[in-house]
Structure 1
Amino acid sequence: MKTIAFIPVRGGSKSIPLKNIKLLCGKPLVCWNIEALERCSLVDKIIVATDSEQIEEVVLSKHYHKVTIYHRLAENACDTASTESVMLEYIDRECLSNDTIFMLVQATSPLTETCHFSEALDLYAKGIYDSMLTCVRNYRFFWNDDGTSKNYDYMYRPRRQNFSGELMENGAFYINTVGNILRNGNRLGGKIGIYEMPEYTATEIDELDDWIILENLMRKYVLLRQENLKNKIKLFLSDVDGTLTDGGMYYSENSEELKKFNTRDGMGFQLLREEGIKTGIITSENTKIVENRAKKLKVDYLVQGKYNGGKLEAVKDICDDLGLTWEQVAYIGDDVNCYELLKSVGVAACPADAIIGVKNIPGINVMSKKGGEGCVREFIEMIISQK
Structure 2
Amino acid sequence: MKVVAFIPVRGGSKSIPLKNIKLFCGKPLVCWSIEALENCELVDEIIVATDSDKIENIVLMQAYKKTKIYRRSAENACDTASSESVMLEYINYAQLSDSSIFMLVQATSPLTETCHFTEALSQYNGGKYDSMLSCVRNYRFYWNVDGTSKNYDYMNRPRRQDFQGELMENGAFYINTVRHIREVGNRLNGKIGIYEMPEYTATEIDEPDDWIVLENLMRKHVLSKTETLRKPIKLFLSDVDGTLTDGGMYYSENGDELKKFNTRDGMAFQLLREAGIKTGIITSEDCLLNRSRAKKLKVDYLYQGKKAGGKLSVVKKICEDMGITLQDVAYIGDDVNCIELLSWVGLAACPSDACDKVKALPGIEVMSRKGGDACVREFVEKIL
**Post-superposition offset of 1:274:** 10
Whole-Å Cα distance in 1 between the matches of residues 207 and 47 of structure 2? 25
The alpha-carbon distance between structure 1 residues 78 and 294, as it changes in their structure 2 partners (threshold 3 A), is closer
Residue equivalent to 1:226: 226
2:319 matches 1:297: no
Residue equivalent to 1:62: 62
- Tell me the secondary structure at the aligned position of residue 143 of structure 1: coil
Map Cα deviations across residues 17-65 of structure 1 (whole Å, 9 max, x no partner).
1110000011000000000000001000000000001100110011111
Whole-Å Cα distance in 1 between the matches of residues 138 and 127 of structure 2? 27
**Post-superposition offset of 1:76:** 0.4
1:227–1:386 contact (8 Å) kept in structure 2: no
The alpha-carbon distance between structure 1 residues 15 and 190, as it changes in their structure 2 partners (threshold 3 A), is same
1:29–1:107 contact (8 Å) kept in structure 2: yes
Larger radius of gyration: 2
1:97–1:178 contact (8 Å) kept in structure 2: yes
Whole-Å Cα distance in 2 between the matches of residues 194 and 295 of structure 1? 49
The alpha-carbon distance between structure 1 residues 191 and 298, as it changes in their structure 2 partners (threshold 3 A), is same
**Post-superposition offset of 1:297:** 3.3
- Tell me the secondary structure at the aligned position of residue 186 of structure 1: coil
Whole-Å Cα distance in 2 between the matches of residues 188 and 41 of structure 1? 24
Superposition RMSD in Å: 3.1
- Tell me the secondary structure at the aligned position of residue 92 of structure 1: helix
Whole-Å Cα distance in 2 between the matches of residues 27 and 73 of structure 1? 27
The alpha-carbon distance between structure 1 residues 211 and 97, as it changes in their structure 2 partners (threshold 3 A), is same
The correspondence of residues 190-269 of structure 1 with structure 2, limited to 5 A, is 190-230=190-230
The one-letter amino acid paired with 2:102 is F
1:227–1:385 contact (8 Å) kept in structure 2: no
The correspondence of residues 9-20 of structure 1 with structure 2, limited to 5 A, is 9-20=9-20
The one-letter amino acid paired with 1:155 is M
Whole-Å Cα distance in 2 between the matches of residues 274 and 122 of structure 1? 47
- Tell me the secondary structure at the aligned position of residue 47 of structure 1: strand
2:26–2:365 contact (8 Å) kept in structure 1: no
The correspondence of residues 67-106 of structure 1 with structure 2, limited to 5 A, is 67-106=67-106
2:134–2:170 contact (8 Å) kept in structure 1: yes
Gaps of 5+ in 1: 237-271, 278-292, 300-329, 331-373
- Tell me the secondary structure at the aligned position of residue 171 of structure 2: strand
**Post-superposition offset of 1:229:** 2.0
The correspondence of residues 100-119 of structure 1 with structure 2, limited to 5 A, is 100-119=100-119
Whole-Å Cα distance in 1 between the matches of residues 39 and 144 of structure 2? 44
Whole-Å Cα distance in 1 between the matches of residues 275 and 189 of structure 2? 50
Map Cα deviations across residues 305-338 of structure 1 (whole Å, 9 max, x no partner).
xxxxxxxxxxxxxxxxxxxxxxxxx9xxxxxxxx
2:168 matches 1:168: yes
**Post-superposition offset of 1:226:** 1.6
The alpha-carbon distance between structure 1 residues 154 and 41, as it changes in their structure 2 partners (threshold 3 A), is same
The alpha-carbon distance between structure 1 residues 61 and 190, as it changes in their structure 2 partners (threshold 3 A), is same
The alpha-carbon distance between structure 1 residues 137 and 23, as it changes in their structure 2 partners (threshold 3 A), is same
1:2–1:44 contact (8 Å) kept in structure 2: yes
2:33 matches 1:33: yes
**Post-superposition offset of 1:4:** 0.3
The alpha-carbon distance between structure 1 residues 221 and 386, as it changes in their structure 2 partners (threshold 3 A), is farther
The one-letter amino acid paired with 2:153 is D
> TM-score normalized by structure 1?
0.63
**Post-superposition offset of 1:298:** 3.5
Whole-Å Cα distance in 1 between the matches of residues 274 and 97 of structure 2? 50
Whole-Å Cα distance in 1 between the matches of residues 29 and 274 of structure 2? 30
2:4 matches 1:4: yes
The one-letter amino acid paired with 1:93 is Y
Map Cα deviations across residues 138-164 of structure 1 (whole Å, 9 max, x no partner).
000001111111111111111111111
Whole-Å Cα distance in 2 between the matches of residues 59 and 68 of structure 1? 9
1:223–1:386 contact (8 Å) kept in structure 2: no
Whole-Å Cα distance in 2 between the matches of residues 294 and 36 of structure 1? 28
Residue equivalent to 1:48: 48
1:134–1:173 contact (8 Å) kept in structure 2: yes
The one-letter amino acid paired with 1:220 is K
- Tell me the secondary structure at the aligned position of residue 11 of structure 2: coil
2:100–2:177 contact (8 Å) kept in structure 1: yes
> TM-score normalized by structure 2?
0.63
Residue equivalent to 2:131: 131
**Post-superposition offset of 1:379:** 6.8
Whole-Å Cα distance in 2 between the matches of residues 88 and 274 of structure 1? 59
